[in-house]
C-alpha cells in the first residue's frame, strides 16, 4: 500500500521544503550514512519522499521500503521527480497511517 504526504494548510511542495532536505542522487543504501543530522533519535531518522509531477497534479510518495524506493526511482519512469529526505517524526505527523510501517525500520 502506498502512502502520500497531503498536508493541510500548505502545498506538498512547501511542506517538503520546510521539513525535508532535497536530494539530487538518492540511493537507498546511503540513506542512513549520508544524512546523520536527521538521525538524532529513532522517530527522527530520515526517510525518502519522492515528489512526482503527474501533469495535472503532484504526489509526494513516502518510500518506506526499498521496493517502494526502487519503484519511484525507476529510470524508465518519464515523470519529473524531486527527492527529499524527511525526518520520520514529521512524516508521521502529517500522515499518521504510515506510522506502523516506519516503526522498527533500521533505515
What pLDDT is attached to residue 40? 45
What pLDDT is attached to residue 36? 54
Residue 76 φ/ψ region, left for φ over 0, alpha for ψ in the -120 to 50 degree band, beta for the rest: alpha
Residue 17 lies in a domain: yes
Residue 107 lies in a domain: no
Residue 91 lies in a domain: yes
Q: Is the pLDDT confidence value at 76 over 80?
A: yes
Residue 6 lies in a domain: no
Domain count, the chain: 1
User: 17: domain range?
Assistant: 12-102
Q: What is the DSSP string of 10-58?
A: S-HHHHHHHH-EEESS--GGGHHHH-GGG-SSGGG-EEEEEEEE-SS-E
* Number of other CB atoms surrounding residue 73 within 10 Å: 17
pTM score, whole prediction = 0.85
* Number of other CB atoms surrounding residue 93 within 10 Å: 13
Residue 82 lies in a domain: yes
- d(C-alpha 93, C-alpha 82), whole Å: 21
Q: Which tens digit of pLDDT belongs to each residue from 32-75?
A: 655 555 544 444 478 899 999 999 999 999 998 899 999 999 99
Q: Which tens digit of pLDDT belongs to each residue from 12-30?
A: 999 999 999 999 999 888 7
Residue 2 lies in a domain: no
Residue 96 lies in a domain: yes
Amino acid at each position: 500500500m502506498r502512502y502520500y504526504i497531503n498536508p493541510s494548510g500548505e502545498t506538498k511542495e512547501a511542506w517538503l521544503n520546510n521539513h525535508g532536505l532535497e536530494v539530487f542522487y538518492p540511493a537507498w543504501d546511503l540513506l542512513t550514512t549520508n544524512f546523520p543530522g536527521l538521525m538524532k533519535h529513532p522517530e527522527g531518522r530520515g526517510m525518502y519522499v519522492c515528489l512526482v509531477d503527474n501533469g495535472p497534479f503532484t504526489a509526494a510518495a513516502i518510500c518506506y521500503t526499498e521496493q517502494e524506493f526502487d519503484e519511484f526511482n525507476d529510470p524508465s519512469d518519464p515523470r519529473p521527480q524531486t527527492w527529499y529526505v524527511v525526518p520520520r517524526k514529521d512524516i508521521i505527523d502529517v500522515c499518521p497511517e504510515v506510522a506502523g510501517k516506519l516503526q522498527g525500520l533500521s533505515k
